[in-house]
Amino acid sequence: MQANEQRTNIIRNLSSQSFDLLVVGGGITGAGVALDAAARGLSVALIEKRDFASGTSSKSTKLIHGGLRYLKNLEIGLVRETGTERAVVHHLAPHLVRPEKMLLPIVDGGSLGKFTSSMALWVYDFLADVEGDDKRKMLTKEETLAREPLLRDDILQGGGYYAEYRTDDARLTLENLKTAQRNGAEVINYVEAIDFNYDEEGHIDSINCRDRMAGENFIINARHVISAAGPWVDELRKVDHSMTPTRIFWSKGVHIVISKERLPLSQAVYFDTPYNDGRMIFAIPRLRSVYIGTTDTAYEGDPNKIPTYVEDVDYLLGAANAIFPSAELKIEDVESSWAGVRPLIYEEGKEGKEMSRKDEIFESETGLLSIAGGKLTGYRKMAERVVDRLGDQLEEKGRDIPKATTKQLELTGGPFEDYAAVVAYEKIVAQKLEAASLTPDRAAYLVANYGKQAEAIIEAAVKRSEGTDVSRLAAAEARWCIDNELALYPMDFFERRSGRLYFDMPSIAPVMDEVLNVFAKAYNYQDGELEAERERIQKAIEWVSQFETENVSSQKNL
């Protein structure tokens, strides 16, 4: 089937059926909601105005974590829930939510001493029921340096070593959406909710939408709507005339990416900034790169295009150089970056870093349910809560829905018994790549990104006769993402499906032509379209690797 045809069919279904639920927003929250509701037997549609996960859900630190620092704010309930969710989400997709031991260096003058670190990590483990080898260990200075030799040793006293998980936020969103599809949901990207239509009693009964690819409007009939629009939740509440005094606050966070050659980190590290601002930063290795983040500044600009300023980069480099001084990192070492906004629930008199990461549901008289705040880590529980609330609305109309089943619902890309099975599978994939004269060193990347779906990509690459081993694989990967993950534009592939824009920028140029040709063929490009897409890729590369200097004074450090 032509890729355009696939899209036309979905839009035809969306405009011809009547759904129990329409979810607005294809970030992790919306994806989780669509899956939860579809698995409970509701007929579900989900629309996303740009690409899936193009909002905050591709801009996070990508940790599935309890949030050690929220203990400081005494957010015990939040830490317990997200801490416990780590192991649950890991079991749903062990290839994608991977164990990542974290090192917390204890330094002279640091925010946590030996005793307080030990206590904090003990409480952290206790709240999440962490057991066995995963329980925190307190390390001597020598043991700490053995795990991470790049740490500044003259101020180092020791370290805390504890269990977290790392994921790829965009891929976690995509696998949730695909699992929702497998459970009957209709999902589509580049379709925007414009406004709502109401029945005689003032309840929403349909939504006016715009297909941003075709430039056409259409209507989706749905008896209930959940807005999971993240930073845009208030925008939709305004359209529904249902704003309340509680509003969303945007807190901007930036990450930078350095190649491992420049920062050969052995281990993920969570460290104090040297600025006495009470903040802590992560440095996390990922395949050939290390990423460092995050900042935390109030943001009032355009949430569709959030710039990284030189000031943001300097802040992160200064913090990294203070703890890894031998690296002597400079702005030229920054290969890539991303900036996102946390959609926090505004609390009067509090600053961003103090504002709770808890989620909140807003219910309007028109029936619109909006869910915002929260964390990537807690997406499954957030979905459960808001679909339960929808269940209350349905019950009033005499319809009962079953309880959530997502705790047992493995995501696409599996199944894997456990993480050991993922590691074993990686070896099999490396052998398959070698046997097919493709690049065996792509095995780790393929399995982390696609899990067992990697095999279909390799099989398709084997059938391609033209191109280098690298470009055959990338072309097969791009086509697979078009057919299975609704990648509409080449940037959807380079940025969110494959993560190359952020974590493997040098890998783009050698495969650019082949990937562009794959999209051109799939979507039947007309004159000039291919070149326009090439330009979009170039602009995206500039956007993530060159930093703005304007407006720096407008940023308020939180």
Ligand X SMILES: Cc1cc2nc3c(=O)[nH]c(=O)nc-3n(C[C@H](O)[C@H](O)[C@H](O)COP(=O)(O)OP(=O)(O)OC[C@H]3O[C@@H](n4cnc5c(N)ncnc54)[C@H](O)[C@@H]3O)c2cc1C
Residue 172 CA to its chain's centroid (Å)? 7
- Cβ proximity to ligand X, 285 vs 343, nearer residue: 343
The 3-class SS string of 326-355 reads HHCCCHHHEEEEEEEEEEEECCCCCCHHHC
Tell whether residue 513 is a contact of ligand X (CB under 6 A).
Answer: no
φ, ψ dihedrals at 475, nearest 5°: -65, -40
Q: Which stretch binds ligand X (CB under 6 A): 110-118, 228-236, 390-398, 482-490?
A: 228-236
Among 35, 225, 376, 482, binds ligand X (CB under 6 A): 376
Tell whether residue 193 is a contact of ligand X (CB under 6 A).
Answer: yes
Among 228, 280, 316, 508, binds ligand X (CB under 6 A): 228
- Cβ proximity to ligand X, 343 vs 367, nearer residue: 343
Tell whether residue 471 is a contact of ligand X (CB under 6 A).
Answer: no
Tokens of 502: 């952020």
- Cβ proximity to ligand X, 380 vs 479, nearer residue: 380
Tell whether residue 467 is a contact of ligand X (CB under 6 A).
Answer: no
Is the CB of residue 165 less than 8 Å from the CB of residue 66?
A: no
Helix (H), strand (E) at residue 208: strand 204-211
Is the CB of residue 530 less than 8 Å from the CB of residue 520?
A: yes
Least distance in Å: CB of 351 to ligand X?
16
Tell whether residue 230 is a contact of ligand X (CB under 6 A).
Answer: yes
Tell whether residue 490 is a contact of ligand X (CB under 6 A).
Answer: no
- Cβ proximity to ligand X, 57 vs 267, nearer residue: 57
φ, ψ dihedrals at 295, nearest 5°: -85, 175
Q: Which stretch binds ligand X (CB under 6 A): 322-330, 369-377, 425-433, 531-539?
A: 369-377
Query: What is the rounded distance in angstroms from the CA atom of residue 29 to the CA atom of residue 39?
Result: 15
Helices and strands in the chain, H and E counts: 17, 19
Count the Cβ atoms, other than its own, within 10 Å of residue 319.
23
- Cβ proximity to ligand X, 297 vs 471, nearer residue: 297
Nearest to 373, CA basis, from 261, 231, 469, 206: 231
Binding to ligand X in span 104-163, by CB under 6 A: none
Is the CB of residue 432 less than 8 Å from the CB of residue 439?
A: no
Distances (CA, A) of 260 to 63, 172, 504, 540: 19, 24, 11, 22
Contact letters (x/-) for ligand X, 68-107, by CB under 6 A? Answer: ----------------------------------------
Helix axes 529-545, 512-522, angle to 10 degrees: 130
- Cβ proximity to ligand X, 26 vs 367, nearer residue: 26
Among 61, 117, 176, 498, binds ligand X (CB under 6 A): 61
Among 28, 220, 256, 258, binds ligand X (CB under 6 A): 28
Among 3, 23, 37, 54, binds ligand X (CB under 6 A): 54
**Contacting residues toward ligand X, per CB under 6 A:** 24-30, 47-50, 54-57, 59-63, 65, 192-193, 228-232, 236, 253, 294, 340-343, 374-377
